[in-house]
Amino acid sequence: MEVPGKEEISVEDEAVDKSIFRDCSKIAFYRRQKQQLSKNFTYRALLDSVTTDRESTSFQIINEATKLPLLAEVYGIERNILRLKINEKTPLKPRYEVSDVLISKLNTVRLTSCSGDTGNLILSDEKGNLKCEVTANPFKIDLVSEKEVVMSINSLGQLYFEHLQSPPKQRATKENEKSTSIDTSQEDQEDVGLWEEKFGNFMDVKANGPSSIGLDFSLHGFEHVYGIPQHAESHQLKNTRDGDAYRLYNLDVYGYQIYDKMGIYGSVPYLLAHKLGRTVGIFWMNASETLVEINTEPAVEYVLTQMGPAAAKQKVRYRTDVRWISESGIIDVFLLTGPTPSDVFKQYSCLTGTQAMPPLFSLGYHQCRWNYEDEQDVMAVDAGFDEHDIPYDVIWLDIEHTEGKRYFTWDKKRFPDPKRMQELLRSKKRKLVVISDPHIKVDPDYSVYIKAKEQGFFVRTHEGGDFEGVCWPGLSSYLDFTNPKVREWYSGLFSFPAYQGSTDILFIWNDMNEPSVFRGPEQTMQKNAIHHGNWEHRELHNIYGFYQQMATAEALIQRSKGKERPFVLSRSFFAGSQKYGAVWTGDNTAEWSYLKISIPMLLTLSISGISFCGDLALCNFWLFLKSSDHEKPLWTEFPNELETFGIEDEYMLGSALLVHPVTEPKATTVDVFLPGSNEIWYDSKTSVCWEGGCTVKMPVTLDTIPVFQRGGSVVPIKTAVGRSTGWMTDLPYGLRVALSTQGSAVGELYLDDGHSFQYLHQRQFLHRKLSFCSSVLTNRCADEQGHFSSKCVVEQILVLGLRKEPSSVTSHSSDGKAEPVTFVYCGRTSTLSLEKLSLNIGANWEVHIQ
C-alpha cells in the first residue's frame, strides 16, 4: 500500500471542514430517540419489588408499551451525593460500565425508607440532608433539599432504554418489532440505523444492534448551567434546538468552528447548575458518544396574598431541563447536591479525583511549535531566549524528531546526541517535552510494533485482525490502552534502558489520542473496532485518551522509582483526567477570535475538575495568567451576585486576583466589572482603589492588561525573574497586602521542593498563613504536620489601602526581638512600602505598623 506523506494526509491545513463531521441530524440513535419519544411511551416503577441492602435500594421499572423490565439502583454517597444506576434486569449479555474513573470504592450512606403511600417511595439518609422521593406511575424521582424539590428525574417522561437483541436472521416485520424495545416498521429500520449506519463511505455494522439510552433532568429555579467540556462555546450553556444538541465525542477537529456545539478533543459529561443560594451538579458517567439537550424556560407561579385569590400575583421561576442521550452503556449518574459551588467541586473531586500536583517547571513558559529541525535548531532557540532575556522552562519536540515517525526513537542525523542536548538544557535548569501518540507505525523492523503485535496489544477489527489506519507515520496500528497489560507494557517503554537517549528531564505530550485516524469516519476509529474484554470501540470511545494519559503518567512515575512528579499533557481527555496531568484546548489558529473563545473554554474545563489547562497556540503577553491552575469564573467566587453569572471575559486567579484579558485587536480600553458591593479592589499596576459592584473603563496597551487585587487578601510574589523557574527557588518574596474596608487581609503561601512526592509521603512542605489585623502583619504556620526548610526571605512588603501614614514600623521575630523597618508612605495612593527586609518565610514573625 502506498502511503502519502504528512502534507498530503494532514487534516490540519485549514479551518475545519464540517462536512467531515456529523451533526445531530446524521446520528441514528439521536434521530431514533426523537422518533420514539414522540409516541409517549411511559415507564412505571414497581414499588412492590423494592429490595434494600447495606449499599443501595433497588426496584424494577417497566415500559408500559413493551413490558420489558429495567433495574434501578439508588445509592447514597458521602458528601450528599446520590447515585442512580439503571440497567436491563436480565440483559442478553453484559452492557459496558465505565471503570477506572472513580478514584476508589465509594463510601456509601445507608438510605432508609420513610413514610410514603403505595404510589411513592421516600428515601433519606440519617441526617435528612439527602432525600429523594420515587413516584411509581409515571416513574419519577424528586431530589428534595430543605423541603424544596431542586431536581426531578424523568419528570418529562423521556427515559429511554434500548435492550440488547440477538442479530436478526432476516429483516424484522412489524409484528416482530412489537416484542422488542424498538417500535419501528420494516420500512424505516434502515433510516434509524438499528443494525447498520452509513456515513459518507463508511458503514458501521452494529453487532449488538440498537443499545442507546436517555434520561431527562429538570432543574427547578435554575437559569444558568455550565460545564460539559469540550466545546468552543460560551461558558454559560445555551438552549438547544432539534438537531443542535451539545455533542460529547472526542474528535480531531483542527481549526474548530467557534461558538459551535460540535464535540472536539475531549469530553467531560459533567454539568453544573447555579442559582442564588444553590449549586447542583450532574455527572453522567458514560464513555460512548453522548448528546446533551438543554432547555431553559421561565415558569410563572401564582402567589396568594392576604387580599385573597383575586389579588394573586405572578412571579417568574426558571426551570432548566437537561436531557442526556448516549449511544450505549448503562445509565449511571451522580447527582451532586451542593449547596455551594465549593461543595459541588469537592463532591465531584471525591468521585473523580483532584488535580495532580504539577511539578513547578510545568507552570512556567513552554516553547512549542510544529517542529524544530535538529539539535542545532533547539540550541539556537534556547540561546535566543537567553539573548533576549526571556525566561522559559520547557522546549517541545514534535514527531519529526523521531526516526521515520517511530515513537521512542531519534532521527540519528538530526538528533545524533539527544542526551548531550538534554544535558545542555539541564545546565540551564530547563526541560524537554517530546511527543508520544497512540498510533504505532506498521513496520516489521520497528521493535515497538513487533512486540505489540506479538502480544496482541493492538485494537482489533471486528473480523479479528489488528486494526490499521492512517496517521502521521502512514499505515499504523493503535495500542489498546483499555487493556491493563498494554498500559503496563507501554509504561515500561519509557524506562531509561528502553528509551535510549532519554533522561530524567524528558517529559511527555500525548497527541492524536481521540484517537485520530486519517481517512476514518470523522477522522477517528470505526465504532465496531474491538478492545480488551471484547468491547466495541463505540462503548468507550471518549475514554481512550484518558487511558493513554494514565499509562504515560504511570510510566514517568515508575521511571523515577516513584520519587518524581510526572508531567503529561494530553489532547484527549475524560472525567478524571485531572489525576494524570494537564490538557489543552487543541489545535486552533492564531486569530483574535480563538484567543477570545479560549477564556470560556478554559473556565469550563476548570469548573469541570481539570484546572491545569492551557492554550498552547495562543500564548502571548498574558501567557502566565492563562497557564495558571487556579483560574475560575467569577460566579464561583461570588455565587450570590447575579451580575457574575454570565461573565466570561474575565476571571479569578484563586480568590485574590481578578483578570480581564485583552481579546480585541487595537483595543485601547476595556470595561471591567468589579464584583461585590462590599468589596474593594486595587489596580495591581497603579494601586488605585475601586469599590466593588461597578464597571470601570480601563486603558490597555499591547503589553498590559487589567489585573485587580481583592481587598482583604495577601498575595506572595517573587521579587525577581530567573531564566527558568529552577533559578527562582531561593529568590526572595514580596508580599502585596491589600486591605479590606475593615483594614484587614489574609493569605497563604505553600512551598515544597517543586518536583518530588515528598510533600505527600514525608509531609515535606511549608504552609504558612499571612494575616493583617489591627495594624499587625503576622506570618504563622498553617499546617503543623508540614516540615520543609526554605532559604527564601520576604524582602519587600507593600500595603495597599493604608489610610494614614504610620509613625514607625518594626519587625518582631519569634524570640521577641524587635527591629525598626525603613518605610515609604504615599498619601496619594494610600500605600506603604517596606524594603530591604530579611524575614524568613518559614519562621514566625510579625510586622507592627504604628
CB 264 within 8 A of CB 256: yes
Q: Which phi and psi (to 5°) does residue 376 adopt?
A: -65, -35
Which amino acid makes up residue 822? T
| DSSP structure class, residue 553 | H
Question: Per-residue DSSP letters for 348-404?
Answer: HHHHH-PPP---GGGGS-EE--S---SHHHHHHHHHHHHHTT----EEEE-GGGSBT
| Separation CA 396–CA 375 (nearest Å) | 12
Alpha helices in 569-686 (DSSP H): 592-607, 623-626, 634-637
Structure-block grid coordinates of residue 418: 539527544
Element (H, E) at 710: strand 707-710
Catalytic hit among 332, 511, 554, 631: 511
SS3 content of the chain, % helix, strand, coil (to 5): 20, 35, 50
Catalytic hit among 142, 393, 411, 587: 587
| DSSP structure class, residue 122 | E
CB 778 within 8 A of CB 814: no
HSE at residue 7, side-chain half, CA atoms within 13 A, is 0
3 state DSSP class of 693: coil
* Helices 375-387, 418-427: crossing angle, 10 deg rounding: 10
Q: Is 587 a catalytic residue?
A: yes
Residue with cell 442512580: 84
3 state DSSP class of 772: strand
How many other C-beta atoms can be found within 10 angstroms of the C-beta atom of residue 803?
8
Question: Per-residue DSSP letters for 270-337?
Answer: EEEEEETTEEEEEEE---S-EEEEEEEEEEEEEEEETTEEEEEEEEEEEEEEEEEEESSS-EEEEEE-
| Separation CA 736–CA 488 (nearest Å) | 47
| Separation CA 262–CA 406 (nearest Å) | 32
| Separation CA 507–CA 503 (nearest Å) | 9
Cα dihedral: 216, 217, 223, 229 (round 10):
-80
Catalytic hit among 216, 327, 514, 554: 514
How many other C-beta atoms can be found within 10 angstroms of the C-beta atom of residue 495?
12
How many other C-beta atoms can be found within 10 angstroms of the C-beta atom of residue 385?
18
Q: Is 511 a catalytic residue?
A: yes
Q: Is 377 a catalytic residue?
A: no
From the list 347, 340, 471, 493, the residue with the least C-alpha distance to 409 is 493
Pairing relation of β-strands 160-161 and 148-153? unpaired
| Separation CA 474–CA 518 (nearest Å) | 9
Residue with cell 470560556: 600
Structure-block grid coordinates of residue 286: 458514560
Residues near 29 by Cβ (< 8 Å), separated by ≥ 6?
162, 193, 210, 212, 289, 325, 327
| Separation CA 676–CA 655 (nearest Å) | 13
Residue with cell 502534507: 7
Which amino acid makes up residue 171? R
List residues with catalytic annotation. Answer: 511, 514, 587
